């Protein structure tokens, strides 16, 4: 029998917000993340074990991901930044000053902040499942941009995208950069984009960045770098699961794997057991054979025609696209 551990209790959904309050007294961080334990246990007990990629982002995982974005092999972040730097004047001219910028998966908010000077939003809403990073980032940004009203939402927007009444309904620009849409299998990606479209209102737009299909060696190096930072990022999910579920994963028992599946057009990240072992948690356990894997992430790669088709199916009408010279990454502005 596993030793019972004390688990943090979390109400299933909560608005850290009472009735009407003066604007200055409202919280800057609203947390509605659901309880994770049931979902994680179900994933571990599935015939092909899986842990959802959102659990990669505890405090350390968020910092490891930041480190990944600086690796020579991980071209995505800097390629997207260079495309945005070139296209943002045109985007800003289309969107106009004073929009409400809604940042989906804001992380350290750096990408969105790099657009503030040109875009001049009136309101900035940062949504992310990683609450620790969000609070810090927003506090920092407030100092530098006192003219922009800011709000953080700790939310798993893959299951809900609930925008409180303080978020203005008009002139929204939803920002979904970094190819994060690639974490979703095609049906879920379409569902999420349709949800995003519904949050755009009748005059809103979506600015999205996606990674494009390319040479397997380039892709695999980006997800299995020489320094081992991506390996640490992947393995760290086990520490997070140990805390969330009270499980007893030993990180040293697992190996990081990242492979491109060209027919499915996705990088898959897995953790592979080094030997036969048993993992236990309060109320459950799972046996793994040596070399058995836990699937931790899909990272889909797109081509431009499919991407435009996907955005249209989600309800966007006009789509403008910018890419880099190598056509490794694309940024799209899609309007309702």
**Residue with smallest beta-carbon separation from ligand AVJ:** 299
Nearest to 129 by CA among 155, 161, 153: 155
Which residue from 178, 235, 241, 293 is in contact with ligand AVJ, where contact means CB under 6 A?
A: 178
Residue 264 CA to residue 253 CA, distance in Å, equals 29
Instruction: CB nearer to ligand AVJ: give 74 or 281.
Output: 74
Is position 182 an interface residue for ligand AVJ (rule: CB under 6 A)?
yes
Q: Check if the beta carbon of residue 258 is closer than 8 Å to that of residue 268.
A: yes
Residues facing residue 266 across a β-bridge: 261, 300
- The C-alpha angle with vertex 59 and arms to 55 and 61, in degrees rounded to 5, equals 55
Instruction: CB nearer to ligand AVJ: give 31 or 128.
Output: 128
Shortest distance (Å) from residue 269 CB to ligand AVJ: 6
DSSP reduced 3-state for 4: coil
Which residue from 76, 101, 192, 310 is in contact with ligand AVJ, where contact means CB under 6 A?
A: 76
Which residue from 62, 123, 183, 236 is in contact with ligand AVJ, where contact means CB under 6 A?
A: 183
Shortest distance (Å) from residue 90 CB to ligand AVJ: 24
Tokens of 234: 């992947």
Is position 68 an interface residue for ligand AVJ (rule: CB under 6 A)?
yes
Residue 224 CA to residue 51 CA, distance in Å, equals 19
- Cα first-last separation, the chain: 55
Distances in Å between the Cα of 51 and the Cα atoms of 42, 145, 236, 257 are 9, 37, 12, 14
Is position 177 an interface residue for ligand AVJ (rule: CB under 6 A)?
no
Chain residues 200-239 in contact with ligand AVJ, contact rule CB under 6 A = 223, 230
From 148-156, 168-176, 177-185, 272-280, give the range in contact with ligand AVJ by CB under 6 A.
177-185
Chain residues 279-308 in contact with ligand AVJ, contact rule CB under 6 A = 297, 299
Q: Check if the beta carbon of residue 75 is closer than 8 Å to that of residue 218.
A: yes
Q: Phi and psi (nearest 5°) for 334?
A: -120, 130
Shortest distance (Å) from residue 225 CB to ligand AVJ: 9
Nearest to 54 by CA among 190, 240, 228: 240
Residue 45 CA to residue 293 CA, distance in Å, equals 12
Is position 79 an interface residue for ligand AVJ (rule: CB under 6 A)?
no
Is position 133 an interface residue for ligand AVJ (rule: CB under 6 A)?
no
Shortest distance (Å) from residue 150 CB to ligand AVJ: 22
Instruction: CB nearer to ligand AVJ: give 183 or 236.
Output: 183
Instruction: CB nearer to ligand AVJ: give 55 or 223.
Output: 223
Is position 39 an interface residue for ligand AVJ (rule: CB under 6 A)?
no
Residue 230 CA to residue 200 CA, distance in Å, equals 34
Residue 94 CA to residue 132 CA, distance in Å, equals 34
Shortest distance (Å) from residue 108 CB to ligand AVJ: 12
Is position 180 an interface residue for ligand AVJ (rule: CB under 6 A)?
yes
Is position 32 an interface residue for ligand AVJ (rule: CB under 6 A)?
no
Shortest distance (Å) from residue 323 CB to ligand AVJ: 17
Nearest to 214 by CA among 112, 309, 300: 300
Q: Which residues bind ligand AVJ (CB under 6 A)?
A: 68, 76, 178-180, 182-183, 223, 230, 297, 299
């Amino acid at each position: 029998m596993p030793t019972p551990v004390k688990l943090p209790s979390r109400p299933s959904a909560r608005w850290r917000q009472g009735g009407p309050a003066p604007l200055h007294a409202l919280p800057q961080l609203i947390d509605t993340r659901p309880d994770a334990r049931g979902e994680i246990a179900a994933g571990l007990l599935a015939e092909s074990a899986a842990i959802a990629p959102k659990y990669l982002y505890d405090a350390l995982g968020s910092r490891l991901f930041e480190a990944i974005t600086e690796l020579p092999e991980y071209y995505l972040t800097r390629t997207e930044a260079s495309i945005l730097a070139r296209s943002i004047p045109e985007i800003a001219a289309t969107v106009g000053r004073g929009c409400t910028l809604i940042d989906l998966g804001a992380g350290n908010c750096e990408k969105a902040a790099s657009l503030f000077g040109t875009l001049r939003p009136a309101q900035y809403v940062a949504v992310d499942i990683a609450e620790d990073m969000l609070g810090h980032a927003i506090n920092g940004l407030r100092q530098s941009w006192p003219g922009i009203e800011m709000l953080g939402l700790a939310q798993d927007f893959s299951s809900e995208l609930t925008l409180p009444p303080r978020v203005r309904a008009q002139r929204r620009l939803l920002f979904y950069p970094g190819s994060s849409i690639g974490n979703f299998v095609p049906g879920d990606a379409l569902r999420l984009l349709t949800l995003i479209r519904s949050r755009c209102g009748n005059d809103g737009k979506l600015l999205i960045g996606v990674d494009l299909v390319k040479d397997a060696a380039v892709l695999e190096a980006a997800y299995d770098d020489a320094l081992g930072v991506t390996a640490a990022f992947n393995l760290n999910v086990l520490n997070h699961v140990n805390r969330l579920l009270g499980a007893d994963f030993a990180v040293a028992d697992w190996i990081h794997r990242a492979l491109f599946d060209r027919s499915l057009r996705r990088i898959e990240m897995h953790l592979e057991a080094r030997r036969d072992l048993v993992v236990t948690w309060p109320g459950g356990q799972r046996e793994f054979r040596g070399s058995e894997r836990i699937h931790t992430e899909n990272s889909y790669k797109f081509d431009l025609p499919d991407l435009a088709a996907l955005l249209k199916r989600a309800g966007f009408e006009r789509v403008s696209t910018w890419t880099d010279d190598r056509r490794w990454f694309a940024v799209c502005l899609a309007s309702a």
